[in-house]
Each structure stands twice: as C-alpha cells, then as structure tokens.
Structure 1
C-alpha cells in the first residue's frame, strides 16, 4: 500500500495550526470569566472539544492510502448477501439485478427478515437463493449470521437493499484477499439520488455530506489499518467472521463493532476508494436524522462495551481512530453551547471572556482561520465550511440524544426509510433548531439596548451580534432546505440523463433526447409528434450502449417549443410495462454507475483556497468537459445500414461532443443530421475520439465533432 501525503505548504499550515491552537487554548484559560462560570467554563470546554477534534481530524486525514486493486484468484467461492426487511419489490429488484450481473462467479442470496411471499417470488424469478427465518432477533446482524449457516462461500459480499453494485465490484475487491491477514475490503457508499437531503447541487458541483468520510477519512484510517466495515458495499472473509463468533449483535451498529473485534484479533482491513456501488441517500430530514441517531447510539454502545482507548489488541492508531469517530457524536453538545452563548450574553449582560478586545480578536481570528484552512485543505475539496455548519445545526439535538447510548443497553434497530414518497413530520424534527432561532432572535433587541445603555461594551456586543446573525441565517437556510425536501412526492428518482430516444407513431419516427429518466417514465425533448395527444399511446425506443429498450408509453403532458422548452417539444412519458414485460434492461442501465455525474461533468470537489492559489501561481487550468446545451442527432457511417441516434453536447469555444452507443470508424465518411427546435440540418463531419463513459450495459463513446462541409 502506498500513501498520499499533502504538499509541503499544507504541512507548514498544519504545524502552525497545532502550535497556534496550543497558544490560544493556553491563553483562553487566563481569559475565562470566573465571575460567570456557568457561561465561561462550558464555552471553554466547547472550544477545547473543537481543538481536540481538529487534532484527531489531522491524524485521520494527513496521510491517505493509495491502492491499486490486484486481480482476484480464480475459483474462489463467493456468496452475495442482500438483507431486506420492509423495502419495496422494485427497490430489491434493482439491487438483485445488479448483484446477479457482477462479473466474478458467485451465488446471490436474498435474506428476507420480512418473510414476504413477494420476496420469495422475486428471488425465484431472478434466479437468486431465498432465505428467511422465523424471527428477527438481532435485526440485520442476526439475519447475516443466519445466512452464514446455510452458505459455504469463502468470501461474502454484502449490499444493503438499496445499493446496486457495478459489474466489476467483485473483480476490484477479491484480489486484496491474497493477503491472508485481510479480513474485509470496504468500498465507499455512494448514492445515485443527488436530489436527496444529503446532497447540495451547485452550477458545476454535487456536494455529498458523507463524501468527506468515504473519500478522505476512510482512506486516512486505511493508512493506519483502521478502516471501518460499514455494513454494505463490502466483502468479508468467512473464516475471520467465524473467528469472532459472527457479526456483532451487542449493538445497533453491527458493522463498526464487527470491525473492532476483527482488528482486536490482529486482522487487517482494506479500503478501496473507488465507488463501486450506488444506493439511496436519505431523502428528507426525518430519515437523515433517524439514521444519524442510530449511528450515534451505536457508537456510544461500542465505546462503552469495547473500552476503545484502553482495550487490549488495538494499535494506538486504531484506538485514536475509533475514539475520533465516537467523539464526533458529542458534537451536538458543543453546538448547543455555541448556539446559546450569544443570546445568553445579550439576555444576562455577562461576558464569558475577560480580555482586551484587540487581543481576543487577534488570537481568536488567527486560530480559527488556521482551523478553517486545515479542515478545507486536508478535506481535499470534499469539505465545505458553510454547508458542514448547516448540517451540524440540523443534527445537533439528535446527536445530543445519542448520548443516551452510553447508558442504555437495549436500543431497537431502526431500518433507514428508503421510500422517496414518504415525507415525515418535518417541523417536529426542526423544532429544536427553531426554538434556538426564536430565543436568539428575541435576544437581539435586549442586546442592542444593553449596548446602548453601556452594560455591554460596544465592541463585544458587535462580535456577539455578528455571531447571532450567523446562527439565525444558518437556521433559516436549514429550515427552508428541509421544508423543500419534505414536499418531494415523486415516488421514483429521475436520472438527469440526455439519452437518444425515438418515438414512433403512425409509421413515422421522431427524434429527441431524455431530459430525465426513471424505470417508469421519462421526459422527452425533441421533434414534435403532431398526431399525439395527452393520454395517447406511442412506441418508444431508448438507445443505450449495446441495448435498445423498447416499450409503449402514455403521454402525460405535451408542451410545444417555447421559453420552458427551447430545444423542442416536451412530452411526459409513462411506460406501459405489461404483465410479461419487465424493466430489467433499463434498470440495469440506470442503477450501479455514476453516469449522471460524468455526463453532466459535475465535480464532487471544490478546490481548497491554498491549493487554488498554488494552481494560479503555476497557471494551471482545467476546462469543463461537457456543457449543458444538448441536441439529438442521427449519424450515418457507410457501410453501416440505417442511422444511429446520438446525443450532442455543445461546448462553448471548442468542438461539440458526440455521445455514441457504439464505437465508430474514425476513417469512414460520416454524415450527421441534427434536429433542433423542429428544424433539420445535415452535414458531413469528421470525428476525433476523446474517451469513454462506462455504464452497466457498455460504454458511451465520446467524439469531438468537426464540420467537413455540406452533405451531398
């Protein structure tokens, strides 16, 4: 295993942060206002918590593992477990379809703790093994342990009900087990529903609240042989699990607890940082917070039962890594202190810090500026200062409640809700945040009066007022974002993919692209279909790599070209899968890849400030691959018969990019016919290959288009 270390200027930044933090924390002891201990001591404790957490963050992210997957040995027996309890048939179907198509020979098992005939029928239909038990003792861990008794594979791959793996998942993970000490290989848990509560969409960036953990922190843990087993998107050695008596059942986070037991026995873990499976992220604040509460409760249970800091069998690096992850769930108490401190100052007229304002601002500003820069730079672009604070505010009360896990032994296992259409009681979950915001807002006029009357120094009052405004602004953003997601009534996620589509009606074919696509429907934008009316039925063909999906569809709405549809007619399509048909081909294509990000050229990272400055000094620049202006086209290449529907992305200042579902002959004469806003233009073009985009059914081939003149 190789490691990636930060640049020298980042090392200097980290050293300055550690030194400045020691100076600041030492100075803060002298600045505590002992006349108001109920305010000043909790504030100092919250700041010390932040500094200790920062040091542990440096430990986990300074060095990152860099791994290249070795090829797997042939002839290994592999079982694939998909545990389920109450998830829908449609959701399980997609995961099983993806699991079945993985390239290395394996047996796929559906482990049904819901004991449903619909699941038994689904497993039989797809050729999977079905296993149920007569009770649900120990929830997911008990389900997995039960399956171990009926299977014989040397290795077990585990996927949650919503995580669809890529074809090469087993090929990319099994090779690590050539080392007999490796107990499990974990991969990132990535998500396809980028409109979830976890995600924020910018103009060219998709930010995922969990990406920092899976793309950076887990790699740092891996460098110290402390990577977590996360319960899904992983492969585990059967003999290692048997050596610890099965998956851990004592806590509600069976995954982390299992990893600790394996590490205590001297086993090694591997984190393969490539996203090889894609699932459903929590769609609303209630599902998000329920999931975090279970994680937090489990972390407290594990912290108590395993005595992480002093238990025998763990290395120092492993102890500190596990301790850092448990400590994270005490963040809610720190945030509560930070949220309540400004209104407390205004309402009671007492300052928690006794110091000349200039001295405080100098030391405070320097320390917190260095802290912010360290977190952004070591986060490698996956961190976001403002977004991270918003999520910290959203979950502060839930994290506070998880402290009960230190004292409660019996905590029920709660399955994370996977249904997009269920919205939950948003305002109930927001109520702690809204109470904080209300108290803070009411304290402002009191604070302004105290500043006017002179009972609070103006300088200290202005600092407190700025702090208050930041708290209120963050609360309003979180409440607005949460309420927006509570109104999501769509039962299916729509992939924002531009794929060639042909509609046929009365023996005439019309060309367009999908604007969004799901297994049950699509939004078509392209040539108008004059005979079609709302509620009418039309033949549809979606042109995928190595696959054309054909169906009939009902038009749910039709909008002609205009401001809302400048690139052609918009038609809503609802697919008519009959009793014998199934969406397997389309589902196979949609789930288990990151095509929607690649095709839109979305970035998951934002260059940190110092790294960006270094790039500017070196005059490095990165041009976007794909713009957001799309058109459909038909391509002819002799001696091919017929015409190939393609998608075309217009790139400002450079050649347009063509997406083809088959590999083209670059030496052959090529004719391109485009249909834009109902008008057809035909020309001869030359093509230059620029790469491929991988999909579960094959590759999209990318070509730059250069005009050669008018077609004959």
Structure 2
C-alpha cells in the first residue's frame, strides 16, 4: 500500500506536467490555425478558380474546427487513480448479446462470464432464438433469454430492443453488457463496480481490445487513440460514453431514462394532437356561418393554444389534456342542444315538402322551389368538434406500436450506445472511463466486414446528430455538448477528403491554382500550423501509435460520404437504413477490391497527375515551386491511401505480429 501511495504521489506531478504541456501545445495550435485560415479566407483565395478554391478553403476550415474539437477534448484529459472496492451486496446481471454468431464463440464468452469472480447472474440474450445455442448455454449453467411474444410484428430495434427486452426479465442492480465475442476477465466486476459507490454514476466504460490483430493492424481495428486519450479526455468533461460492450450500467439510471423517454413521447403525441386540433378548429371557425358556432369554435381554438402553452411551461400532461377535454365536451354539449332544436325544425320543414309521385315514371317528384328554400338553411355539423374529441382521446399513451411502452436503451439510432449515454448525461448522471483491458474480443478479419462495421458506426452517429443534435439537447453541459458533437463532426470528413485529393490533381494536370500564390506568406502560416497540429497529436497520444487511425480517417472517405447520405435520407425522408451485425468469423477478401474502387481510382489519378505535373514543370508550363508542393501533397495522399492496399492483401490473423 505504501508503494502504491508513493507511486501515486510521484505520478501526479507527471500527469500535471503532461497536461500543462498539452494545453500549451493546444493553444499554440489554435492560434496558428486561426491565423492561417483567416489569412486564407481574406488574402489567398483564388477567386478566378472559385470552383476549387472555395471548396479547398472550406475543407481547411473544417479541419481547423476538427483540430479545435480535439484540443478541447484533451484539455481536461483525466487519468483516474485506483478504483474503490465494490459494495459487497451489489447485484449484477451480465448480458451477452448475440444474433447469429457461432455457438462455440458465444459459449466461450458465456462460460468466461459465468466464471467472473464477483457474485452475479449471466444471461445470453439470443436475438436469433436458436435452439442449439439455448441447449448449449443452459447446459453450461447460464441463463438464456429470447424476445417475448410482445415483439411479434412490432419494431425490433436491433441490439437496443434485445437489451430492452432483457431489462424487463431481470432485476440486477447493475448490468455488465458484453458482445458475443468479448471474453471478460474474471476481475472485471471487481475493478469497475466500486465507481458506483458514487450514487450519481450511471456508466463505467472499459476499453475494447482485440486479440486477433497483428502488430501492423492493417484494418485499423485497435483504435488506441480513442480507447485511451480521447475517452480520457471526454471523461474529464464527464462525457465518456457507452461503446456497446465491456461496460457496466446502473439499472436505475436506465429505467429512469426509459420513463423520461415515455413521458417525452407522450407529451409529443399530445402536443401534436393539440396542434392538429387547433388547426382544425381554426378552419371550422372560418367556415362557420352561425355566430354562436363561430364563438364556440373560437373559444376552443384559444383553449388548444392555451393547452400548448401550458405544456411548454412544464405543466403535467394529464392535467392539461383533462382540462382541454372538459372544455371540448362542454362546447359539444351546448352545440348539440342548440342543434337538436334546429334539427326538429328541419324535420318539420322536410315533412312539409310538397311531394307527389309521377304516375308514368313511378318516381317521387319534389317541388324545386321548396328544395331551393331548404338548401338555403344553415345546418349545424359537429364534425370538427367530434374530430377534435376523438383526436385528443386517441393519444396512444400505451405506445401500442411498440413491444414495450418504456424503452430504456435508446432506439433512435443503430448506435444505441452513444444515444443512451448522451441522454443519461442530459439527465445529470455521471460516467467513468476505466482505462484497463478487462475483456478481449475479436476484430473483423477481412476488408468487407470492417467496412460494414465502420459504415454502421458512422450511420448511427450521424442519425443521432440529425435527430437529437447535442448542441441543442437540454440538460447537457457546454463541455458535454462539444464532446458528443466532436465525435459526430468527425464523420463528415469524407467530403473534405475528396477536396484534398482533387486539389493537387487539378493543379498538376491543368495548372489551376486554388491559392493566389505559393508565396512566403503561405508557407510562413501553413507550415507552423501543420507542425503544431502533429505535435498536438503526439503529445496527446503520449506514445500511443495513431498513424493507422489517421490513415483510415482519410482512406475511408467513400464510407463516410455514404453514411452521411444514407443517414440523412433515413432521418429526413424515412428511407430504411438497415442494420448489419458485424460478422465474428473471417469472410473472404475475394472481390474486396470492388469495395474500395473509389480509393484505387484516386490512387491511380494521383500517380497520373504526378507524372503529368513533372512533365509540365519540365517543359516550363508550370512553376517548379507549386509543382513541388503538390508533388509532396500527392506523395502524402498516396502514403495515406496505401493502407487500402495493405487491407486488400490481408488474409486474416496468423499469429502475433504476423501478416500474410
């Protein structure tokens, strides 16, 4: 214990010193970046070639914002000390989510989860309802849960629905969520439950680490920058978020989240019904002939407007809707009483109509003048009020379209983890990032599977941004808003990548200059900013290898563009997004080149542009300074995109440090 305290005492100044150095570099980077980008906008945009010059400066502005968000993330990077011991009486359910993974793979995780040291119950949540898996896990002494019949013919919500179903079939105080391939360490609960001694902590997230990844990491699976400095940075802002697996959650927090979501959905339904009622009443009032009807409809229109205002002010939904319903019922009763008297007159008028039968045709003939007089009468339809009555009373408080009225795990996105964490934070709960490998998983072993996984992550994250932008979500602190937005913002980089690839090709092939000149002013601003940016990543990473992640952030630009387009189409136009479970067995790389045709085409164009540029410069058609700058740019792009070639050549894990 004494050695531990001495180590903590000596490491604390080191952490403080590193954090101070990081903040200095962050400030320097932002000063240099703002100086460069402002100068670019004001002094160096080549307006004669605006069609490439403006996209380029917009892309550079995007990159500056991206670097700024990273700097803010790292500003309060938090390295936590040893966690406290868990409460001995804590009750835990371990959830292993699965859909179609191999039975032996799921069973290996289930047995390891069963053998976790801290007392708990283990459950396999099988969304595939496979009898073979049920038999295997029950034989191993592990619980088995499938969807209840309530989910038939209703939205399933993928993994979020699987977890929500299990939440109402279990009762542990805490939940450890594991993917089917994430084999837990026996000490995982001993190392994480202690944080929940703080009653405000709702989530403890640990890293995801994969054992089937060679040192070269050709598919960029390990994400050491995210599961380390970035999550530690978010933790400093109380914004470390749920990553879908290897996390412990407090059941109470999730259930409160579900109740709040239920109330919010009910309020939205009531608000929509009142808005529709107000429009219907207004239209009926404008068409009313009888003054008494018009006054009654106007009163109800004001009542609907008042009810909406009361809801906006936070008054209880039940009280607001009850008061409005009483008002509608009273108005309807008064108008019905008045209408009844008029109906009696109408019946007498109809009875007095001069009617005779045509002897030749056998038809009833009505006096036309009498019929015209009858048509001029003012009838009193109660359709508008009756429709409003039905509309308000038909608000679906039971959420009959859903299998469960209360859905604790967020269902607004295919990345249910981030959305759930964001709403937990918005309710005031705290989260913890515990930087220790406590589960070992399996990463994709082929390019197609990796792309499917990254596409789903990006689509889900952008769904959340478009549906529930954290910059506008009530309850989040300023830092939390930026932390969530930073992750979402990063997936918009596909469009900037296209510009960064196109600009040097256009210059080398056609001599179109997107800046006014490759002058000293340009290099004096651009080079220091780029050096400071790279230094910021080096200081923040503190020895963690980040190059592979930087490569894929550019090299997967078609995936990011597709994710943006499909997520927007889903949110704005209701087009299906689909949900693809990441396969846990090796696929085939045969034909995988078709998945990266845009990247291969970009590499070919870059090589051709380099050759053309050298020829143009050699023949005096282009300046050597600009050509040299763009050749270096092309070389950088090719080095970054070369990761795609490594991914195509990768044939799966062969052993530590080996790659065929």
> Structure 1 length normalisation: TM-score?
0.65
State the partner residue of 1:472: 638
Conserved? CA contact 1:198–1:283, under 8 Å: no
Q: After the TM superposition, which residues 11-26 of structure 1 pair with which residues of structure 2 at under 5 Å, given as runs?
A: 11-26=23-38
Conserved? CA contact 1:62–1:378, under 8 Å: no
State the partner residue of 2:326: none
RMSD (Å) for aligned C-alpha atoms: 2.3
Deviation, 1:111, is 0.7
Deviation, 1:422, is 3.9
Deviation, 1:424, is 5.8
Deviation, 1:199, is 5.4
Counterparts of 2:24 and 2:458, CA distance in 1: 34
Q: After the TM superposition, which residues 115-514 of structure 1 pair with which residues of structure 2 at under 5 Å, given as runs?
A: 115-133=129-147, 137-195=156-214, 198=217, 209-245=222-258, 246-385=408-547, 387-404=548-565, 405-409=567-571, 410-423=576-589, 425-475=591-641, 477-485=642-650, 487-488=651-652, 496=656
Distance 1:388-1:142 versus aligned 2 partners, 3 A rule: closer
State the partner residue of 2:275: none
Deviation, 1:453, is 4.2
State the partner residue of 1:69: 83
Distance 1:234-1:108 versus aligned 2 partners, 3 A rule: same
Distance 1:80-1:388 versus aligned 2 partners, 3 A rule: closer
Conserved? CA contact 1:286–1:429, under 8 Å: yes
Conserved? CA contact 2:451–2:559, under 8 Å: yes
Query: Which shows bigger deviation, 437-446 or 97-106?
Result: 437-446
Distance 1:16-1:277 versus aligned 2 partners, 3 A rule: same
Counterparts of 2:146 and 2:23, CA distance in 1: 53
State the partner residue of 2:396: none
Deviation, 1:435, is 1.0
Counterparts of 1:52 and 1:383, CA distance in 2: 23
Deviation, 1:138, is 0.8
State the partner residue of 1:44: 57
Deviation, 1:468, is 1.6
Distance 1:238-1:138 versus aligned 2 partners, 3 A rule: same
- In structure 2, runs of 5+ residues without a counterpart are 1-7, 259-407
State the partner residue of 1:598: none
Say which structure is richer in strand: 1
User: Deviations 1:132-185 (Å, cap 9, x if unpaired)?
Assistant: 125581111101110111111111110000001101001111111111111111
Counterparts of 1:282 and 1:219, CA distance in 2: 25
Deviation, 1:308, is 1.2
Say which structure is richer in helix: 2
User: Deviations 1:501-524 (Å, cap 9, x if unpaired)?
Assistant: xxxxxxxxxxxxxx99xxxxxxxx
User: Deviations 1:523-550 (Å, cap 9, x if unpaired)?
Assistant: xxxxxxxxxxxxxxxxxxxxxxxxxxxx
State the partner residue of 1:60: 73
Counterparts of 1:435 and 1:199, CA distance in 2: 20
Distance 1:275-1:181 versus aligned 2 partners, 3 A rule: same
Conserved? CA contact 2:518–2:626, under 8 Å: no
Conserved? CA contact 2:25–2:532, under 8 Å: yes
Higher relative contact order (CA 8 A, sep 6+): 2
Distance 1:425-1:259 versus aligned 2 partners, 3 A rule: farther
Deviation, 1:189, is 0.9
> Structure 2 length normalisation: TM-score?
0.70
Deviation, 1:425, is 3.5
State the partner residue of 2:40: 28
Deviation, 1:209, is 4.4
Conserved? CA contact 1:196–1:281, under 8 Å: no
State the partner residue of 2:316: none
Conserved? CA contact 1:17–1:370, under 8 Å: yes
Deviation, 1:462, is 1.3
User: Deviations 1:92-111 (Å, cap 9, x if unpaired)?
Assistant: 12111110110111110011
Deviation, 1:473, is 3.8
User: Deviations 1:427-448 (Å, cap 9, x if unpaired)?
Assistant: 0122110111122222233323
Conserved? CA contact 1:83–1:159, under 8 Å: yes
Deviation, 1:464, is 0.9
Deviation, 1:196, is 8.5
Counterparts of 1:428 and 1:196, CA distance in 2: 26
Counterparts of 1:308 and 1:215, CA distance in 2: 23
Distance 1:331-1:209 versus aligned 2 partners, 3 A rule: farther
Counterparts of 2:628 and 2:518, CA distance in 1: 14
Distance 1:117-1:306 versus aligned 2 partners, 3 A rule: same
